[in-house]
Chains A and B, each alone.
Chain A
Amino acid sequence: MTNDITRLSASDLASALRSKTITSVEATQAHLDRIAAVDGDLHAFLHVSSDEALATAAEVDAKRAGGEELHPLAGVPIAVKDVVVTKGLPTTAGSKILERWIPPYDATLVERIKAAGLPILGKTNMDEFAMGSSTEHSAFGNTKNPWDLDRIPGGSGGGSAAAVAGFEAPLAIGTDTGGSIRQPGAVTGTVGVKPTYGGVSRYGLIAMASSLDQAGPVTRTVLDAALLHELIGGHDPHDSTSINEPVPGVVAAARQGAKGDLKGLRVGVVKELSGEGYQAGVSARFDESLEQLRALGAEVVEVSCPSFAYALDAYYLIMPAEASSNLAKFDGMRFGLRVEPADGPVTAERVMGATRGAGFGDEVKRRVILGTYALSAGYYDAYYGSAQKVRTLIQRDFAAAFERADVLVSPTAPTTAFKFGEKLDDPLAMYLNDVATIPANLAGVPGMSLPNGLSDDGLPVGFQILAPAKADDRLYRVGAALEAALESSWGGPILNKAPELKTTELAR
């Protein structure tokens, strides 16, 4: 019975809750049981908040019993990436430097989740400060890919993706600075959406790169993503970069798209995001998906975005530059880890140095050093300044491409999930994973990854859809249409093809 509940989509679970077929306490407990049974292997969670989740569930059940008007997702449990601050729940951003820190406040999106009555199951694992594409840079151990426990679940949001793919949670929150929602979605066979920059409040997201970071939904279906997107999106006066407009009608778009009619839609294939460097199985699935879109009535055109060739380079200047400044506050003076120097005088400066030396992992140090250098006097124009110009060129490429197409598409990641350790010692190879996802962050446009089949190695492949800024609804229309077509060709959701996870007996 509990297995059945965890297999439900958030939308179906919400319906079951509404019809009082099950209670939120039952649903929450089922997911907590699933976490207890499989997370020993998966390690998607850094912290499980059973008591708080069940208390919320009981509260929602009581309100429902009392006939109160509830949010459509009320009672549906959710997992939150550990980079999002949660009042009273540990929040580490995957870093030793924040170990045991308990935030005194909630991120805006967490406030909205709490107000809507979604029990928070816990905090999910991630690369330290969201820096990485494999979750191997977490200070607290790797998260495994439910499809193959020897492989990475993607990153930085590998924990959220694995939790959803492993049926530990129907919904999760991710954050995406260069692909950290979409690439884990691609390699775990789940759906991930990076909304338009400013579409979801960043207040309470531990910042990596302020001009690129964006939170979004991690789910198993396009409709679920839309439901969560609508809940967490919208203007927040605490975030100056938040868009002061209503959230685009993403749920309506997902429902409309599921009807399978894409007549009149122009789909642009980005020439620069395919071919060399893309695994054969990835390219094959991508081409098949284009055929599906044509079959649904869409017109497929090729577009060129020549500046995308420089996107990775620009990204690895802007992101570390902003990160070097954003991470300066972690110094042992006010919160988190504090390390005193082993010998010599204990001055503020030396405590800061010792704390940062001990508290940050190698990838974080690499990016802080890179960013500090890029912002230094005499180098600023050549590095940060030039990178910002590239950013403008990429925005222009997008603008020109969106003249010719309503949405742009590409494979989400060049390969399927690689094995642990395979790219750990080669940062540049690791960075290349994000080659297709980074342009959207640099331009602030929304992007979605949804599963579009298995590669020759039997591992999931992701299909990326990009839309103009503030036209997030287009992602959902196209995504839902493609999802419906693909699932009908597969005979069910892709995750049905994933191997069963070994479960440990519950002590309860």
Chain B
Amino acid sequence: MTAATTTDLVAYEDAVRRYDPVLGIEVHVELGTLTKMFCAAEVAYGGEPNTQVTPVSLGLPGALPVVNGKAVEYAIRIGLALNCTIAESCRFARKNYFYPDVPKNFQTSQYDEPIAFDGWIDIELDDGEVFRVEIERAHMEEDAGKNTHVGGATGRIQGAEYSLVDYNRAGIPLVEIVTRPIEGAGERAPEVARAYVQTLRDIFRSLDVSEARMERGNVRADVNLSLRPTPESPLGTRTETKNVNSFRSIERAVRYEVSRQAGVLDAGLPVIQETRHFHEEDGTTSSGRVKSDAEDYRYFPEPDLVPVAPSREWVEEIRATLPEMPVARRRRLQKEWGYADAEMRDVVNAGAVELIEATIAAGTSAAGARKWWMGELARRAKQDEITLEDLVVTPAQIAQLQGLIESGRINDKIARQVLEGVLAGEGDPEAVVVSRGLEIVSDDGALLTAIDDALAAQPDIVEKVRGGNQGPVGAIIGAVMKATKGQADAKRVRELVLDRIGS
């Protein structure tokens, strides 16, 4: 359609060598309130279409909005977590545009008076480097309904026979977080974009303001990208790739746009300011609608609502209840646990932080907890293609298992059998040990019988040991272990063998 779409892509490494990418990211998060932003309609995932509605969320004549206080509290929590200033008073505005998924034909949003502004957040990249992203604003708004276009090839409105609208989503509270231009990411721009959204997702979860499930659209990212020749050059023309809804897609979309825009610029053409769609199948983006000055939302203050003026006391109360932010928490835990950087990174990537923390809280050493979750359990999860969290074993059970080893009642090898039992639903490790009869044989009498049998069977070894060569003693121990089906404590067996031979 446009000249820009026909130019060649530039290899990513080449593109970032010659151009400096600048990001701008808008993240929408659906708040986990019980009811909608402006009415008492229930918020729940997966309801029958158009059942979670009121006259307000359907935009019926005469209906009026009332601000959901919980949503304001959540927005303030997010603002504070992002180190923002919380407005002393702020207003909602109407963003006017005609579209069937917007029941009133205007979206109630915040325009020139966001609830939170001027913040920042540190994000951690894969190698542990910390990158600071500046936040311009976080504002409250309502979600639109959901359109389903039926009958076309693409699922888009073009070519569809008819469209259906589900207003269950209309009016769900959203907070939109807008960054300042993110400069200095260079070739790591895709990773920075992904890590930023990932960090926000983690923050939303730790704040308990949203389920923050990407796959359900609880968190949606629009990624703006522009290129410029050097970091000193003025900002280039940006594109906005809409609704990039997985971490991997964010990286891919940024990579693709860098390559595409570099191609456009190399061809001596201007980048067109437009929204673009990301295609999951092949990792490309395509032109959406052109953003022009003609787009006029006729914003004006929402006359049906009074200003939101959170008292300073309330803001401080909320601040006092903020949990530790994910990056800070990880740093603290790594220090407490004594893990190496690489070890901690693996733990984080495996989603094992909470599991290990709980295991340690149940009495296991940091090393012991890591051994289980990053070892045998990680192997099992991978084998079953599930997450660690979804394994049917609790941190308390792992702590008990490790305790059994440390008290000498079982050894490492037996412990794996015990774990099998736990995973098979046979109960706690203690119960499995008893029911499967896996307890270490610690009755010296029984052991001595087995030892005497082994010594009698291999008199030459006894001679060698008596001659001062302790090497072959292992053969006797092995024979004893075999005779006791591995349920003996090898250390004790060794002591008894030496004692026997020496006597």
Q: Which residues of A approach B to under 8 Å, CB–CB?
A: 84-85, 91, 93, 98, 101, 103-105, 107, 202-207, 209-211, 237-241, 321-322, 324-325, 328-331, 333-335, 348-349, 352, 372, 375-377, 380, 384
B399 within 8 A of partner (CB): no
B300 touches A325 (CB 8 A): yes
In the assembled complex, the CB of B196 is this many whole angstroms from the nearest CB of chain A, namely 31
Among B12-20, B63-71, B80-88, the one that faces the other chain is B63-71
A206 touches B61 (CB 8 A): yes
Please report the C-alpha to C-alpha distance between residue A77 and residue B100 in the assembled complex, in whole angstroms.
40
Given contacts A203-B63, A206-B62, contact A241 B96 (CB under 8 A): no
B100 touches A328 (CB 8 A): no
Please report the C-alpha to C-alpha distance between residue A103 and residue B62 in the assembled complex, in whole angstroms.
10
B106 within 8 A of partner (CB): yes
CB neighbours of B105 from chain A (8 A):
328-329, 331
B317 within 8 A of partner (CB): no
In the assembled complex, the CB of A401 is this many whole angstroms from the nearest CB of chain B, namely 25
* Nearest CB in chain B to that of A84: its residue: B62
CB neighbours of A372 from chain B (8 A):
298
A240 touches B305 (CB 8 A): yes
Partner of A329, one of B67, B104, B163, B304: B104
Please report the C-alpha to C-alpha distance between residue A111 and residue B59 in the assembled complex, in whole angstroms.
20
Contact with A along B51-78 (1 / 0, CB 8 A): 0000100111111111100000000000
B62 touches A352 (CB 8 A): no
A-B contact pairs, 29 of them (CB 8 A): A93-B61, A101-B61, A103-B60, A105-B55, A206-B61, A206-B62, A207-B62, A209-B303, A210-B304, A237-B66, A238-B66, A239-B64, A240-B66, A240-B306, A241-B303, A241-B306, A322-B300, A322-B303, A325-B106, A328-B106, A329-B59, A329-B104, A331-B105, A333-B100, A333-B165, A334-B60, A335-B60, A335-B61, A380-B299
Q: List B residues 95-121 near A (Cβ within 8 Å).
A: 96, 98-100, 103-106
Please report the C-alpha to C-alpha distance between residue A110 and residue B352 in the assembled complex, in whole angstroms.
58
In the assembled complex, the CB of B437 is this many whole angstroms from the nearest CB of chain A, namely 67
B163 touches A348 (CB 8 A): yes
* Nearest CB in chain B to that of A237: its residue: B66
In the assembled complex, the CB of A96 is this many whole angstroms from the nearest CB of chain B, namely 14
Given contacts A211-B303, A377-B296, contact A203 B96 (CB under 8 A): no
Please report the C-alpha to C-alpha distance between residue A328 and residue B303 in the assembled complex, in whole angstroms.
15
Tally of chain B residues near chain A (CB < 8 A): 31
Please report the C-alpha to C-alpha distance between residue A167 and residue B163 in the assembled complex, in whole angstroms.
51
Please classify the interface of chain B as helix (H, G, I), strand (E, B), loop, or mixed, using the class held by over half of its residues: loop
B296 touches A328 (CB 8 A): no
Q: List B residues 129-168 near A (Cβ within 8 Å).
A: 163, 165
Partner of B298, one of A84, A206, A207, A376: A376
Please report the C-alpha to C-alpha distance between residue A334 and residue B102 in the assembled complex, in whole angstroms.
11
Given contacts A325-B96, A331-B105, contact A203 B64 (CB under 8 A): yes
* Nearest CB in chain A to that of B306: its residue: A240
B98 touches A328 (CB 8 A): yes
CB neighbours of A93 from chain B (8 A):
61
Q: List B residues 299-320 near A (Cβ within 8 Å).
A: 299-300, 303-306
CB neighbours of A105 from chain B (8 A):
55, 60, 62-63
A325 touches B298 (CB 8 A): yes
B96 touches A328 (CB 8 A): yes
Please report the C-alpha to C-alpha distance between residue A39 and residue B103 in the assembled complex, in whole angstroms.
37
Partner of A331, one of B58, B98, B296: B98
Given contacts A104-B55, A238-B66, A331-B105, contact A375 B61 (CB under 8 A): no
B169 within 8 A of partner (CB): no
* Nearest CB in chain B to that of A347: its residue: B157
CB neighbours of B103 from chain A (8 A):
329, 334
Q: A202-B304, A334-B59, A375-B298 are in contact. List 4 more A-B contacts (CB 8 A).
A: A239-B64, A322-B300, A325-B300, A328-B104
Q: List B residues 242-297 near A (Cβ within 8 Å).
A: 293, 296
In the assembled complex, the CB of A357 is this many whole angstroms from the nearest CB of chain B, namely 14
B65 touches A240 (CB 8 A): yes
In the assembled complex, the CB of A332 is this many whole angstroms from the nearest CB of chain B, namely 10
Please report the C-alpha to C-alpha distance between residue A103 and residue B60 in the assembled complex, in whole angstroms.
8
CB neighbours of A98 from chain B (8 A):
61
A241 touches B304 (CB 8 A): yes
Please report the C-alpha to C-alpha distance between residue A104 and residue B61 in the assembled complex, in whole angstroms.
10
CB neighbours of B238 from chain A (8 A):
none
